[in-house]
Amino acid sequence: MEIVILAVVIALVAVGLISGLVVSSRKKKQLPPSAPSSTPTLTPPAEPHVGEEAETPRDEARRTIEEVGLPGAGTPVEETPVVIEPEIPELEVPEPTAGRLVRLRARLARSQNSLGKGLLTLLSRDNLDEDTWEEIEDTLLTADVGVAPTQELVERLRERVRVLGTRTPDELRTLLREELVTLLGPDFDRTVKTEGGEATPGVVMVVGVNGTGKTTTTGKLARVLVADGRSVVLGAADTFRAAAADQLQTWGERVGARTVRGPEGGDPASIAFDAVKEGIAEGADVVLIDTAGRLHTKTGLMDELGKVKRVVEKHGPLDEILLVLDATTGQNGLVQARVFAEVVDITGIVLTKLDGTAKGGIVIAVQRELGVPVKLIGLGEGPDDLAPFEPGAFVDALIGD
C-alpha cells in the first residue's frame, strides 16, 4: 500500500515538473525578441514587478507536494521576492560646444609658445634688421606654417611695420593677430554639415590614417552633436583594427548613441550601409561612420573608401567627409592629406593632438594644401576635448589677448 502511495506521489511530482517547464518555456516565447548583437539596444529589459513573476517549475512542484500532503513537507518557507533592477547605462551630459576653444585655450597656449610669443618678442626688437626677419621666418617654418604662407606673412608684416613707424607692444599684437587670422582664412565655412535629406539623417564619414585619433574623434564628435541636441547612430566600419568597434561602442554608450558593427575583418561598406539604414529606421539626426585608414597602397585605400562612399550614397548624399590628421606628425600629415584628398572629396579637416605640439602652424599649411577648412581641433584625450575651430580664438590663444 505504502509503495502505491509513494508511486502516486512521484508520478504527481513528475507531472508537476513537466507542466512547470511548459509554463516557463511558453513565457519565454512571449518575451520580446532580444536585439541582434550587432545593434545593442538601449532599451532596458522590462522591469519585473512584485507578484508578477513567472511561475517556476519549483513552485509547481512545491504546490503539488503540499496538495498531496506529503508528511514532513510542512508550511513552505516565505520567500521574499527579489526585484532585479535592470542595468540602465547612466548617460553622460557632454559639455556644451560653444566656447570650447576658449575653455581649452590654455592647452594651446602651453604648447604653442614658440610660435605666438616668439613672434611677438622678435617683432618687439628695437632694430628689425634682416637677421630678425629671418628669425621670424624660421619661427614660422619651425611651427609648420609652410613656405608660401610664411613668405606672405613676413612680407605683409614688413610692409605694415614700415608704414606704422613707431610700434608699441599693443600695436604689434594687433598687427600680428590680424595677419595670422587672415592667414587662417576667416571666411571659410567651418560648420560640420549634418542636415541630411528630408527622410534621411545627416551622414558624416570620418577618414584618416590609423593612429591619428580617428575613432576617438568620431566618439568625441558624437558628443558634440549630442550636446547640440542631435541624436546619433555610429557605424563601426573600421573592421581592420581589432579594438576599434569596441572603442567606438563605448563612446556611443556613454551618450546614448547606438553603434552598428559587424564581424572583425568584415566588409566596411556593408557596415556603413547598415549604419545609415539603422539611422533612417530610428529617425536619427546624424550617422557618423568611422572607417579604416590603411595607407598600404593608394589603390587599396581608394578601393576601400570609394566603396564605402558609393554604398552609403545609395541612401542619399554624404554631408561631410572629415579627414583626421595628427598635428604632431608635421609634414607627414601633409603627405597623408594629399593622398586622402586624391581618394575622396574631403570637406573638412580635424586636426588632433594640438595639445601636444608646438607646430600649430600646420592648420595654415593643411588648409592651403587642400583648400578645405579645419573644422574641429583635438586638444586632449578627455571626452570633450574636441573644439570647433575658430581662427580668432585660436590666434588669441597663441599670442595672448
Binding site listing for GTP: 208-215, 290-294, 352-355
Instruction: Give the residue from 351, 171, 199 showing the smallest Cα distance to 284.
Output: 199
How far, rounded to the nearest angstrom, does the alpha carbon of residue 311 sit from its chain's CA centroid?
A: 21
203 binds ligand GDP (CB under 6 A): no
Residues 6+ apart with CB under 8 A from 203: 196, 276, 279, 286, 287, 289, 312, 315, 316, 317, 318, 319, 320
CB of 389 to ligand GDP, least distance (A): 12
Amino acid identity, position 127: N
Query: Which residue's Cβ lies closest to ligand GDP?
Result: 378
355 binds ligand GDP (CB under 6 A): yes
336 binds ligand GDP (CB under 6 A): no
Residue 58 C-beta-side C-alpha neighbours within 13 Å: 4
Instruction: By CB under 6 A, name the one of 57, 266, 316, 356 that touches ligand GDP.
Output: 356
Residue 312 grid coordinates: 552609403
With CB under 6 A as the contact rule, which of the stretches 16-24, 45-53, 132-140, 375-383 interacts with ligand GDP? 375-383
Instruction: Answer for the pair 230, 193: CB distance below 8 angstroms, yes or no.
Output: no
Nearer of residues 107 and 173 to ligand GDP, judged by Cβ: 107
Residue 148 grid coordinates: 608660401
Nearer of residues 121 and 250 to ligand GDP, judged by Cβ: 250
Chain positions 216 to 235 lying near ligand GDP, rule: CB under 6 A, are: 216
Rounded to whole angstroms, what are the CA distances from 10 to 19, 57, 58, 64, 65? 14, 15, 15, 10, 10
**For residue 155, which phi and psi values (nearest 5 degrees)?**
-60, -45
Nearer of residues 153 and 379 to ligand GDP, judged by Cβ: 379
Chain positions 376 to 395 lying near ligand GDP, rule: CB under 6 A, are: 378-381, 385
210 binds ligand GDP (CB under 6 A): yes
261 binds ligand GDP (CB under 6 A): no
By CB under 6 A, name the binding residues for ligand GDP. 208, 210-216, 241, 244, 352-353, 355-356, 378-381, 385
